[in-house]
Amino acid sequence: MGLPGEFLRESNRLLSCGEDRFYTCGGCGFVRRGVYRCDLLPCGRCAARRSERLRSLWTPAVERVPPRHGYRWALLTLTIRRTDSLRACVDRILTAWRLLRTRIVRRYKTDKRHFGGFASVEVAGAVHLHALVHMPFVPQAWLSKVWKQLTRDSFVVDVRQIHGGTRVAAAYVTKYVVKTVDPALGVRVWLAVRGRQIHRAFGVCVGLVEKPARPPCHCRLCGGVDWQPTAAFFSLYALAKGARPVVASAYG
């Protein structure tokens, strides 16, 4: 049975990551050289950029959460036992995490103006969820008990109070984004997370994330911003004109 077309396209993007690409200005015809980035999860080259991008989005949002007496920032790590495929485990942990947040809200009467945070799913040989949560004190024993009720077979829950400020906490959560996926698991990880949002905000933090607009790349000759992909044989012309590198994302 052949591979799905989408997988072949993603594989080509992964193999092409880091290659030089050339772009022609629609206004004057000037050619610039760019570096293609695939932004795929199994790509080790893009992992650091993805982690830094999430950190730059999450850290300001964490600092904008209004403080409240009795609430604190906590680091929460949830583990799910590997009994199914990786994709089924990802779906299970995301569903159980959503239900756990509901249980916390109901049990501890949390204020929706203060309860929230960020979560990141780590997919390797096992599946973990790391969350930065602004919430009142919740006993670890209660979390473990409810987590086992929701997952039916997993009870390992680690909760820690933050020491060192919110920037340290945001760096802790986003560091799991930068982990390089084992090449032997690359295809399985891609199939497991395809179509799943594994790095997400929840609660009050959803409305606090401000995604900055990407600045346009201006042509140094005419100031235009309309760039079109150019065939590789223009490379000599580009180098002769002193083309400067510019990062070109796969998502525009």
Q: Give the pLDDT score at 34.
A: 81
pLDDT band at 246 (very low <50, low <70, confident <90, very high): very low
Q: How far apart are CA 38 and CA 16, in angstroms?
A: 8
- The pLDDT of 231-251, averaged and rounded, is 47
pLDDT higher at 129 or 23? 129
Which class is domain 47-208? alpha beta
Give the range with max mean pLDDT: 78-92, 135-149, 204-218. 135-149
Q: Give the pLDDT score at 194.
A: 75
- Report the candidate in 122, 249, 97 with the shortest Cα–Cα distance to residue 175: 122
Q: Give the pLDDT score at 249.
A: 40
Evaluate the CA torsion angle 222, 225, 230, 232 in order and state its sign.
positive
Which residues are within 8 A (CB) of 84 and not within 5 positions of it... i.e. 6 or more apart? 92
Domain segments of the chain as ranges: 5-39+215-249, 47-208
Answer yes or no: is pLDDT of 150 > 50.
yes
**116 and 202 Cβ atoms separated by less than 8 Å:** yes
- The pLDDT of 177-187, averaged and rounded, is 57
Residue pLDDT, tens place only, 196-236: 888 888 999 888 887 777 788 888 888 888 888 776 544 44
pLDDT higher at 249 or 22? 22
Mean residue pLDDT across the chain: 78
Q: How far apart are CA 82 and CA 4, in angstroms?
A: 26
Answer yes or no: is pLDDT of 245 > 50.
no
Q: How far apart are CA 117 and CA 126, in angstroms?
A: 23
Residue pLDDT, tens place only, 1-55: 445 666 677 777 778 888 888 888 888 888 888 888 887 777 777 877 877 788 8
